[in-house]
Structure 1
Amino acid sequence: MKIFRLFLFLSLFISWPAFATVVVSSPANGSTVGTNVQFVASGSTSCSSGVSAMGVYVDDGLIYQAGGTSMNTTLTLPTGNHRVAVQAWDYCGGATNTLLNLAVASQGGVTVSSPANNSTVSAQAHYAASATTSCGSGVSAMGVYVNDSLAYMVNGASMDTTLTLPAGTQRTVVQAWDRCGGASTTPITVNVTAGTKISNIHATNGWNQWGELPPVYDICGAPCSGVDWSMTQHVGSGSLSGNATIFWVGGSTPYSDALWSNKLIGQGTTQNMPDTNQTILPSIHHMVYDTDVYVSNLAVTQDLEFDVNLFMYGVGMEFGMECNHLNGNVWDIWNNVNVQWVHTSIPCTLNDKSWNHVSFQVQRESNNDLTYQSITVNGTTYTINQTVAPFSVPSGWYGMTVNYQMDGNYQQTPYTTMLDNLSITYW
């Protein structure tokens, strides 16, 4: 029996042929890892036909095997100390391996707060997660694999980002690497809806324009004594797409505003979507407002407001996000019931004399409550997760509108902004 075990050991762990190698990128020999361990390796051989397959032995037992010259897989190992061999087989009948000694600890792991497993998400999916490890040196990095391909990676023990995913069911894995060579993972399967996207709204016809005067801020059509504004479409110079829109506000009354609005769906539609049978709006529960905005003079930019609104069956839902730059330098959300802006703790960090990318995602709940989910500014995603109630509107109102507003400062100093690539995606 001892002779047989010795023969089995030699067949597993002696390299055949002599001119062959297995390079293991992860995990590191002698490292402490979590129970979910990522194995990344490649094999080479002097056999002219090449490497046929690769596999992993744990304590003399084969637990994984796949064809090809490389492997990248996550395997679940029991806690404790283990002798591991990462092995390659070639088409000439030879085999070679690299031996690893691993300590598997039960402590540590990846906690994913967004998205939920088996949830339905938009093409712009919000990923937020944190990680712990038993490694004394801590977590070094986190990342997201989409269908076995690394789509995102960031240093540290937490991550908060938005990824663009293809439509359909996607297998994703949120992974953390520690400084001891270990890795932990949490698989997340998401169903990605392509949604319906209305693009280049800033360049379309049918924009309504008003002034708003303090302290009541009722809309005022031109001419509106005390506030001036303008909108110039199809501007190529300085734009991103070659077709931007310039907005300007000025006047003589301090803290006056200019509001621009476009009716997308329903009454007064500019998109040829009257929704006469009233099937589109009732089906909408998710919306993403996405735009690029150029700030020409941040020092005098009081507020910039971005809204998407739904009105139907006597219910009004105004989803408003405001970069409240000169009154706290934070993002505000609109409270329909109390008719007021509510500060968040999210900083308004727009770049001056530069283009900024702003995208926010909202959700209409089954009872028509409004949930502000997240906002992404210049690549950084901030979670909001605040819900407010809707308000009553005349029963005949029916439609989706998009708004953009610029607010004046205490001197009503004139300034301009530009919008480009403005879109609403809904599903």
Structure 2
Amino acid sequence: MMHLNLKGFSAIGILSIGIFSFTGCSVSNAKPPSTSTTTTQLIGSGSSTSVSTTPGSGSNGGAPVPPSGATVISNIQNQTGWQTCGGCGNDGGTGQGPVYNLTQGIASPALSGSSADFWIAGGPAYSGGYYFIEQPTVPNPLSYLRYEFDLYIPGQYASAPQALEFECQQNSEGYTYNYAWQADYDSKSWRVFNYTTKHWEPTSVGFQPFAPDTWHHIIAIYHASGTQVMHDSITVDGVTYPVNITHDALFTGNGLELTNAFQVDLDASSSPYHIYLDNMTVSLKD
């Protein structure tokens, strides 16, 4: 799970878990463009150093499509089983947590006809609301992982976030592989999370706060190599930024698990805001 390092804040409590009951998640196997895709309904609901290669300017070619044979989990914003945790993002967090929740089945704004509203209404400054959901487990470390969604922020909340964060996390063979990005409004940069040191680390990719009242498409591509976590690239509105950042996976001894998550962080004024997500998709291959 994600761990905050925003202005040193760590006093955050754990909220009770909420399970939401809205269906609509599907799983398919990715095929080459020339073939059809069979979709089936998913029932139910899962000391380190970093080495970074400085990317050049972004490419307008966009992110590559998932490889043949990849599993594609789509419409996750409508999936049953979202859980919330106000303290998951902070080690040793105690005290009052933020006020936040998730509202599904939003008809407008939406691209698919059914988006989800990830909102936060207040709480301690620099605290965050963490939303996560379990996906079917995969036994081996992932050779390909793609997390994507469309994001919409209404005009009145355009400058409200301190940061927006999203991640996938896999437990495999006793190791935890954490793949996380943060859009940091304070530093105007995209950052990645080092799960072993529990710190956000800068990249050379600048962050331009999302223009309000319009949809933005985000794609993050990752993979595992042995017991290493590889952040390959991030694509924002069709522009791809290769980063090729490597961290060590952390041996935790945990059993098989696969989750994806989104987090909304409060600024110094605890400004409330809403973020709408649509077409949330995880594509993977072990």
**TM-score (normalizing by structure 2):** 0.74
Larger Cα Rg: Structure 1 or Structure 2?
1
Q: Which residue of 1 aligns with 2:117?
A: 246
Q: Which residue of 1 aligns with 2:71?
A: 196
Matched, 1:402 2:260: yes
| Aligned partner (choices 153, 168, 192) of residue 333 of structure 1 | 192
3-state SS of 2:283 partner? strand
Q: Which residue of 2 aligns with 1:50?
A: none
CA RMSD of aligned residues (A): 2.5
Task: Answer yes or no: is the 8 Å Cα contact 2:32–2:68 preserved in 1.
Answer: yes
> Per the alignment, do residues 345 and 211 of structure 1 end up closer, same or farther by CA in structure 2, a change over 3 Å counting?
same
1:417 offset after TM fit, Å?
A: 0.3
Question: Which deviations, in whole Å up to 9, do the C-alpha atoms of 1:239-284 show, x marking residues without a partner?
Answer: 1111100011122311110000000023xxxxxxxxxxxxx43163
Task: Answer yes or no: is the 8 Å Cα contact 2:58–2:239 preserved in 1.
Answer: no
AA aligned to 1:314 is G
Task: Answer yes or no: is the 8 Å Cα contact 1:332–1:342 preserved in 2.
Answer: yes
What is the alpha-carbon distance in structure 2 between the residues aligned to residue 324 and residue 344 of structure 1? 11
Q: Which residue of 2 aligns with 1:161?
A: 61
What is the alpha-carbon distance in structure 2 between the residues aligned to residue 318 and residue 227 of structure 1? 24
Task: Answer yes or no: is the 8 Å Cα contact 1:305–1:323 preserved in 2.
Answer: yes
3-state SS of 1:238 partner? coil
| Aligned partner (choices 250, 253, 256) of residue 127 of structure 2 | 256
> Per the alignment, do residues 283 and 333 of structure 1 end up closer, same or farther by CA in structure 2, a change over 3 Å counting?
closer
AA aligned to 1:359 is I
1:298 offset after TM fit, Å?
A: 2.4
What is the alpha-carbon distance in structure 1 between the residues aligned to residue 117 and residue 97 of structure 2? 21
Q: Can you give the 5+ residue segments of structure 2 that lack an aligned partner in the other structure?
A: 1-30, 34-56
Q: Which residue of 1 aligns with 2:50?
A: none
3-state SS of 2:140 partner? helix
| Aligned partner (choices 235, 259, 268) of residue 106 of structure 2 | 235
1:371 offset after TM fit, Å?
A: 0.7
AA aligned to 1:423 is T
Question: Which deviations, in whole Å up to 9, do the C-alpha atoms of 1:382-407 show, x marking residues without a partner?
Answer: 01111110112234x21110010000
1:194 offset after TM fit, Å?
A: 4.5
Task: Answer yes or no: is the 8 Å Cα contact 1:250–1:408 preserved in 2.
Answer: no
Matches within 5 A, 1:125-144: none
1:423 offset after TM fit, Å?
A: 0.4
1:368 offset after TM fit, Å?
A: 2.0
1:162 offset after TM fit, Å?
A: 2.1
Q: Which residue of 1 aligns with 2:182?
A: 322
Task: Answer yes or no: is the 8 Å Cα contact 1:160–1:382 preserved in 2.
Answer: no
Task: Answer yes or no: is the 8 Å Cα contact 1:213–1:227 preserved in 2.
Answer: no
Task: Answer yes or no: is the 8 Å Cα contact 1:227–1:251 preserved in 2.
Answer: yes
Q: Which residue of 2 aligns with 1:291?
A: 149
What is the alpha-carbon distance in structure 1 between the residues aligned to residue 105 and residue 198 of structure 2? 34
What is the alpha-carbon distance in structure 2 between the residues aligned to residue 123 and residue 384 of structure 1? 26
What is the alpha-carbon distance in structure 2 between the residues aligned to residue 405 and residue 158 of structure 1? 25
What is the alpha-carbon distance in structure 2 between the residues aligned to residue 381 and residue 198 of structure 1? 22
AA aligned to 1:333 is V
Task: Answer yes or no: is the 8 Å Cα contact 2:145–2:283 preserved in 1.
Answer: yes
**Larger relative CO (CA 8 A, sep 6+): 1 or 2?**
2
* Length, aligned pairs only: 229
Q: Which residue of 2 aligns with 1:390?
A: 249
Matched, 1:378 2:237: yes
Question: Which deviations, in whole Å up to 9, do the C-alpha atoms of 1:319-374 show, x marking residues without a partner?
Answer: 0011011x211110011221110011212222223211000100100x22011100
Task: Answer yes or no: is the 8 Å Cα contact 2:193–2:200 preserved in 1.
Answer: yes
AA aligned to 2:162 is Q
Q: Which residue of 2 aligns with 1:305?
A: 165
> Per the alignment, do residues 415 and 421 of structure 1 end up closer, same or farther by CA in structure 2, a change over 3 Å counting?
same
| Aligned partner (choices 273, 280, 283) of residue 422 of structure 1 | 280
AA aligned to 1:201 is I
1:301 offset after TM fit, Å?
A: 1.1
1:408 offset after TM fit, Å?
A: 0.3
Question: Which deviations, in whole Å up to 9, do the C-alpha atoms of 1:224-250 show, x marking residues without a partner?
Answer: 734100110011121111110001112
Q: Which stretches of structure 1, 4 residues or longer, exceed 6 Å deviation after superposition?
A: none
> Per the alignment, do residues 354 and 426 of structure 1 end up closer, same or farther by CA in structure 2, a change over 3 Å counting?
same
Higher strand share: 1
What is the alpha-carbon distance in structure 1 between the residues aligned to residue 144 and residue 205 of structure 2? 22
What is the alpha-carbon distance in structure 2 between the residues aligned to residue 123 and residue 291 of structure 1? 21
Task: Answer yes or no: is the 8 Å Cα contact 1:227–1:256 preserved in 2.
Answer: yes
Matched, 1:281 2:281: no
> Per the alignment, do residues 219 and 229 of structure 1 end up closer, same or farther by CA in structure 2, a change over 3 Å counting?
farther
Matches within 5 A, 1:85-104: none
Task: Answer yes or no: is the 8 Å Cα contact 2:141–2:224 preserved in 1.
Answer: no
1:218 offset after TM fit, Å?
A: 4.9
